[in-house]
Chains A and B, each alone.
Chain A
């Protein structure tokens, strides 16, 4: 029997949906606050998305393996604390600490692969380790950002504001790596059917370590950008990024299981999640409700997707 012709259309729709949602949100924001349309308006609106787009890609790496990372926020907090404490004063030690963080993430992936553990519990346990380490090195908020990092986030490239430039570059890289490169196929295959990939002679251990290592790299970059934006460190700064990164990946068209991910969508999803805050404040809604709105967006997206599937079946 031939495949359903509708399946292809549903896929296209899924890829387009985050873009349409983002466009609608931007339109609404511009309607409420016309000044947001300018270069500087966009910059102000989106600047705090810098850590989130990297966090989203970090989460995407883990979700590609059909895993989930509940410790990403704490990890970003750790990088934030470490970099604020070390990078400005002892750059070499700071760089080594960053490297150690990435290796720890790769190691966590390897551990999950070797022991075949559920990532949710391991990453949740690890989140306490990251948080504890961050509190150990930086018991109270403090430290400072190195000059180059603070300068980086203040950059004003021509035509497009920095967050948009970063987002385009990151989306392009993610799409190439996961959807086009030959090793990306193997990594997604691990998320789809690990046994099938192992039977073709690939190392699941290496694959998971690579995915988690890459997540560690993106997580580190997110933490560094957070330091640059806040010019200080705090063990708890990273906390919101766990939910936001998961939401960005899902809203962007990814699935929790089966290695189904969409890097471009994840970057768009990051913007969508970030803009909910701005939208609420433009609409004069108390920020107390921001968490509710973000939770509701996730529910609506996943709910619609499930209903769509039901209708298709």
Chain B
């Protein structure tokens, strides 16, 4: 704990505990945040990061422990207290109302923004914040949120937190803020946070992108199993040390082994797009890169729609696009194979179970019984079930849409191994990811910009710089 005694901490958490049923999400967490400090929090899924942030933001109440803010212990701490004390939070899932206009969302955040002329004040606030954080953003303050692409929505959400009305902002909590932002906007945001910190606004920053955390924070806290297991200045840390603290071994970038002449094998995907065709052969792992929302997902969905029955789709957005929450692990797995399992339209329970059991051991799904509800699994294990659902079928083409979103490093490694194994057996894999590191698993990578392909990069020549350059095709 960097308790140098000269500055009173802005936030002082002592012994914070939170349980969800039998799960201990937070276990006696102590944490100090100094004014103007940029603090990174890392840890894998279920480590308690999100719970901790929600406690700080006032959307969850801790079962145990105390929160002191600027030396005082606020009574009945909740969202409105947090807001009044100058604490704002951007949550991982977007929390804007799609039916409202940009300036109206500011009103939702600020309870005091009312009375005559409030729309004018709201427009000014959000416009100024957007200009300050994302220069050149091109977002109108009267635009309807639902009509904005996801990246711009994220910008509005972030800018909204930085608007100030009746109180000065003291702490901003950002949960994976850059996940939906393009590289340029992410850079702008990280710069702005540095400036804000200089003005005394502390920032708590949660991200799976370790490099981003290391280079843009002053201090990093590592969480594991609901506890703080490491707390050190960012300057002295490396990616490998962070990963070690998080409870995993480093080095996830072992490259795939197959390097046969792919073009000799049958062509599985041939999708005409502006700027060129997206082609993929059996046995290939193809990457789709570029800024988020530039047509990669549309391309995957088009391939899926055009290849009904021959393509399987795995989305990283588990709650919305993957999991059937009322069902067991087994039913979640077999739902992708109904056609193959059916005998005259009916399924046989024993057959279903045997199949689910086989995949549980093959892909390492951590559950005592495949009859357990899917929601009893951790996020990473749920993702394994979804991958198993896709690969257990006979689909020739696997479409992976940012499948590692919010998945911890260890599970990620397992899953990439499974994907490479499938490709080695002659399947064709298309992987869309916003993390350049994941592209190292791909034989070839197509970079997208505004719905068009701007580059095709072979693995041997892949570099972050090349991907970035193609992602901003019109910038030079």
Interface of A toward B, CB cutoff 8 Å: 1-4, 7, 11, 180, 182-183, 185-186, 188-189, 191-193, 195-197, 199-202, 258-260
Contacts and interface: CB of A to CB of B under 8 A. Distances in A.
Interface string B149-192: 10110000000000000000000000000000000000000000
Interface in B353-405: none
Contacts of A2: 138
Interface stretch (B14-22, B101-109, B312-320): B101-109
Given A189-B97, A201-B79, A3 B143 contact: yes
Interface size class of B (residues with CB under 8 A): 35 or more
A124 B115 CA distance: 38
Contacts of B115: 182
B111 interface: yes
B59 A197 contact: no
Given A1-B151, A182-B118, 5 more contacts: A188-B99, A189-B105, A192-B100, A196-B108, A201-B78
B94 to A, nearest CB: 8
A4 B147 contact: yes
Residue picked from B58, B80, B99, B144, most chain A C-beta under 10 Å: B99
Contact of A201 (B96, B111, B148): B111
Contacts of A186: 107-108
Contact of B148 (A3, A183, A185): A3
A183 B114 contact: yes
A202 B147 contact: no
Nearest to A189: B97
Interface of B: 58-59, 78-80, 83, 89, 91, 94-100, 104-105, 107-109, 111, 113-115, 118-119, 138, 140, 143-144, 146-149, 151-152, 293-294, 450
30 contacts: A1-B151, A1-B152, A1-B293, A2-B138, A3-B140, A3-B143, A7-B144, A7-B147, A180-B119, A182-B107, A182-B118, A183-B114, A188-B99, A189-B99, A189-B100, A192-B97, A192-B98, A193-B97, A193-B98, A196-B94, A196-B95, A199-B59, A199-B91, A200-B79, A200-B83, A201-B58, A201-B83, A202-B111, A258-B99, A259-B99
Contacts of B99: 188-189, 191-192, 258-260
Contacts of A195: 95
Nearest to A192: B97
Given A193-B98, A258-B98, A1 B111 contact: no
**Secondary structure type dominating chain B contacts:** loop
Contacts of A258: 98-99, 146
A231 to B, nearest CB: 42
Contacts of B294: 1
Contact of B100 (A4, A185, A199): A185
